[in-house]
Structure 1
């Protein structure tokens, strides 16, 4: 019997408040990457839970609270105490079950470079959701959460798959190339992923490879969510 859709999506956010290379330089969740996708999924009738590697508080990247990504969606969330409360009490991976979700969506912000890859709980959830026929999606630095995900056959999830995410050129243009702990674009290439990016930095760009959906940068969050919904609709049909 085919798995019945639960109409529920698991959003993933960070717990890290600053760059490890410079603790005086704050970072955190890039807010619009959560709000744009959350809005799209909510409008489509999906329930959503928010998980983080450790559970509990998810800090906001200060630069995400400025133009141009601090738009109506991000402002509405930031000014809503109930929404902000959700980021104070995120779930830990051990508190959720993969079988309850149709998709997992990794948000970004440079902070995720530190805590997404090392989270065995997130890796297990991602593998299980994917292998049960669900969708794995990531936007911007969210694809750091895919770096150490291995399927049951031992192969990297991203191996041989079309994928995108925040590019090294964008790191340089953002002025943080010397702060970040590694070049994630190169890492996914080393894992055998077919990485591609938009010709113009910071413009919306997405990739869909079966049930793996990725977006390049903050401006890609809404499109990545829409593509995720399209894949979910295709699965359900």
Structure 2
């Protein structure tokens, strides 16, 4: 099966100008789980071109476990991030599911017409829609073909405000993802301890709370990829 992984194209916070971008481990962990099981994963981004990497994602020890550094040091793998197609230019019919990679940059460009249209395409076709950490920002305000909202009555998770405080990014982000998900979804849950694995499966909608949940999202996707 073929899966489309989507990254942010935003590389700096608006307020401070500090670098942000895609959280690399959230791509590598999902990628490894899927490809080791024999599936394809293609990377795209909101605007196309080179994908920005949040430098903090290369320094966090818990994320380095599981191969993030190994992948970062692999030129062939990193070439995948150098020239990605824009989501608006991707033939979505070629893929069996979509995975929204996290990173703070997603809060700025995932709530967009192009991303919403892509997510709705997969949801309307009954295909897998998955997201991790800040990636569920791309699930917000998505309207389906029947006029309902994607998150209506659904069970989800995503990066919590407590985790935002731990990351010291409360002054940088444009909104609280937790608050938005609580407002729009049927139920929003988190792990009892911040920054520990928490994955929620609701039909073909799969969400993970934080970077430590990326491999779990991949494993949940595999359960449906039959």
Q: Please classify the TM superposition score into its range, dividing by the shorter chain length.
A: over 0.9
**1:97–1:125 CA contact under 8 A, matched in 2:** no
Number of residue-to-residue matches in the alignment: 225
SS of structure 1 residue aligned to 2:64: coil
Question: Which residue matches 1:4?
Answer: none
**2:129–2:204 CA contact under 8 A, matched in 1:** yes
SS of structure 2 residue aligned to 1:18: coil
| Post-superposition CA distance 1:157-211 (Å, at most 9, x none) | 1111000010011101111111111011111121133100011000000100000
Query: Given the alignment of the two structures, is residue 230 of structure 1 paired with residue 208 of structure 2, yes or no?
Result: no
Deviating above 6 A after TM superposition, structure 1's stretches of 4 or more consecutive aligned residues are none
Q: TM-score, normalised by structure 1?
A: 0.92
Distance between the aligned counterparts of 1:198 and 1:181, measured in 2? 23
**2:156–2:185 CA contact under 8 A, matched in 1:** no
Query: Given the alignment of the two structures, is residue 113 of structure 1 paired with residue 117 of structure 2, yes or no?
Result: no
Q: Which runs of 5+ in 1 are unaligned?
A: 1-6
Q: TM-score, normalised by structure 2?
A: 0.96
**1:14–1:29 CA contact under 8 A, matched in 2:** yes
1:83 maps to which of 77, 91, 95: 77
1:213 maps to which of 183, 197, 206: 206
**2:206–2:217 CA contact under 8 A, matched in 1:** yes
- Root mean square deviation, CA, Å: 1.1
Q: How much does 1:63 deviate?
A: 0.7
